[in-house]
Each structure stands twice: as C-alpha cells, then as structure tokens.
Structure 1
Amino acid sequence: MKVVKPRSEFLSNYEVLRHLKGIQKKNNWVFSDKDKKESNKRHRDFGGVNLEMVVKDSLQYLESSPCGVIGSIDSFKQLMIFLNQFELMKAEKLQIVNTLPRSMVLLYALVEECDQRFSEAESELIIEKINELYPVEEEAEGEEDGEEAEEAEEVEGEDVEAEADN
C-alpha cells in the first residue's frame, strides 16, 4: 500500500467524531450497558468486533473532550470562519478547534508567539467567540465553586480547632 498524498488534509476531533457517529449509525451499534448482553448475540456484518470496540472507545473519548460540546456543524463553521479572519497557521486553528481555549493562558500555549502576533484585544476576541458559541454549563461551574467553598470551610474549621487547643 502506498500513501499518495501524505498529510494532505487536517481533520479536527469534531470531524472525526461526526465520521465515527456515521459509522455507528450505519452499523446500528448502540453503546449502552443494556445492549452489552444483546451485542454478543448480534450478527456483525461490517468490520467485526475490533472495529466496533475502536469506534466505541474513540466516541467515548471524543464526546468527553472539548469537541463534544460542539452541537452542530453550523456552529463549527461559524468558528472556522471567525478564525480565518486571523493570521493563524492551519495547525494552530486545528488546536484551537480541538481544545476550545477559554483562557488567555491556554490560547497563548496553543498559538506560537501569540503575544507578538496578536494584540490582547484580538486574543480576548477569540476567547469571547468560543464562549459565545460554546458556553460553559452553569452546573459544572457551580459544582466547582461548591467544592472550593467546602474546602475553605474545612480549613477554617481546622484553624478554629487549633486556636481552641492553644
């Protein structure tokens, strides 16, 4: 087998996710605990067990990654059109789409010499657009804040106990 065009195209995690969901749908695979027992009884027409396991594991990973929050192809297109306004390399656009950075630190880690190539306002604009298209769930933030508050209360309680012992 010969590779005709090495690295002719880049694929984002979202595009791979969509392709794998297409394979899953084509083969009528349902990945749930209930269907595990039935899956042993099913006849596998295409690809066999190995393909099914690779698709299942890959889907599981990709759905839990940042690209899992991209709901529609339209929002994906909007982000790509927006990123095309900036002088970013293809690999940098790919990294931005795959990680969806929500902080300046992460954006600076993804884009080479970001502080020299873009103003702070342009960098913030990229982050704002990502937050606009793919807002962070409020529950996840609330849970983190709640955990931090509980930890702070525990530390305060330990301080009070230490003072009482003295």
Structure 2
Amino acid sequence: MKILEANNGALTNFEVLDFLRAKGASKDPTRVLAKVAQSEYKVYDYLIDTAARDQTRESINEFLESVKSHDLAKAEILNIINIRPTNIVEIFPIIECCDTRFSDEELTEIVELVKRTLPPPPEDANGAEPTKSNGEEGGEQMETS
C-alpha cells in the first residue's frame, strides 16, 4: 500500500467503517480469511453499534450542506456527525463556547438538522440505544423523597 497524502485530515466514523468493510471486515465471520488486523476488527465491532452503521455518504453530504449556514469548525462538524447529538444538552460539549456563539434557537436548529439528515443510532436487543447507560453502570441509585 502506498500513502498518497499523509495526514490529509480527520475521518468520520462512517468513513472508517466504510474502509473496514472494503477491507473485508464484514464479510469474514471467522476473522481469519480477510486481511484485517485484530485491532481493526475491534474498531469494526465498536463502530457497527454506532450511528455510523446506518449513515450514508448522501446523508453526511446533506448534513454538511445544511449546516454551512452555521459558523461551526471542522472538528465540531466531525464530532456532531460521529456523536449525533439529539438534544441541546448533548451538543454543548461538542461546540466550543456554545452558549456565547449560538442562541438556543440556533442550537435547536442544529439539533433538528442532525435529526432530519443523519440516521439514528441502532437500538440494542432491549430496545435502548447502545450509547445510553439505562442506569446499569453498577452504581447506586439515589433515593428521592
């Protein structure tokens, strides 16, 4: 393999997953026939349970076109695509100085763009999103009285 452009930029989770699929990670259930390293299989296993599984180049391009009107950095856009926030609370840690750069209406608009253009994350067997904890972290729950 020849590197054409070293460190050309950051990749979305979808692009990494697409690359691993092209290498054969999704086609070899025994994990011995394809030329995929064990660490790449681990990355594939992680990404297949994220929103990247159902994303397409078209949905990402549609989001990129829609979000151009907002003044977001490339890294912020990349993180929004990868994390796929579904409410304002989830978008605050992604966007630097979020409360001073954007009004609540603008943030709501960005979240609605995400919901409209990017597919939701897959649900696990229990019907809950795998990225959510469902309160099963082994910690104690607080009693409210």
- The Cα of 1:68 is off from its aligned counterpart by 2.1
What corresponds to 1:116 in structure 2? 100
* Structure with max Cα Rg: 1
Mapped pair 1:79 → 2:76: no
2: distance between equivalents of 1:96 and 1:56?
24
Mapped pair 1:30 → 2:15: no
Structure 1 segment 137-152 matched on structure 2, within 5 A: 143=127
Q: Say if 1:67 and 1:100, in contact at 8 Å, map to a contact too.
A: no
Give the 3 Å change call, closer, same or farther, for CA 114–133 of structure 1 in structure 2.
same
The runs of at least 4 aligned residues of structure 1 exceeding 3 Å deviation read 3-8, 134-137
Structure 1 segment 62-141 matched on structure 2, within 5 A: 62-70=47-55, 72-134=56-118, 136=120
1: distance between equivalents of 2:43 and 2:119?
24
Mapped pair 1:55 → 2:40: yes
Question: Relative CO higher for 1 or 2, CA cutoff 8 Å, sep ≥ 6?
Answer: 2
Specify the SS of the correspondent of 1:95: helix
Counting aligned pairs with the same residue, the percent is 23
Specify the SS of the correspondent of 1:64: coil
1: distance between equivalents of 2:22 and 2:42?
15
What corresponds to 1:157 in structure 2? none
Q: Which moved more, 1:119-128 or 1:16-25?
A: 16-25
1: distance between equivalents of 2:60 and 2:119?
14
What corresponds to 1:9 in structure 2? 9
1: distance between equivalents of 2:47 and 2:39?
12
Normalised TM-score (structure 1): 0.62
- The Cα of 1:53 is off from its aligned counterpart by 2.4
Give the 3 Å change call, closer, same or farther, for CA 77–107 of structure 1 in structure 2.
same
1: distance between equivalents of 2:52 and 2:91?
16
Partner AA of 2:54 in structure 1: V
Specify the SS of the correspondent of 1:84: helix
Q: Which has the higher helix share?
A: 1
List per-residue Cα deviations over 1:93-114 (Å, max 9, x = no partner): 1111110000111101110111
Q: Say if 2:12 and 2:82, in contact at 8 Å, map to a contact too.
A: yes
Normalised TM-score (structure 2): 0.70
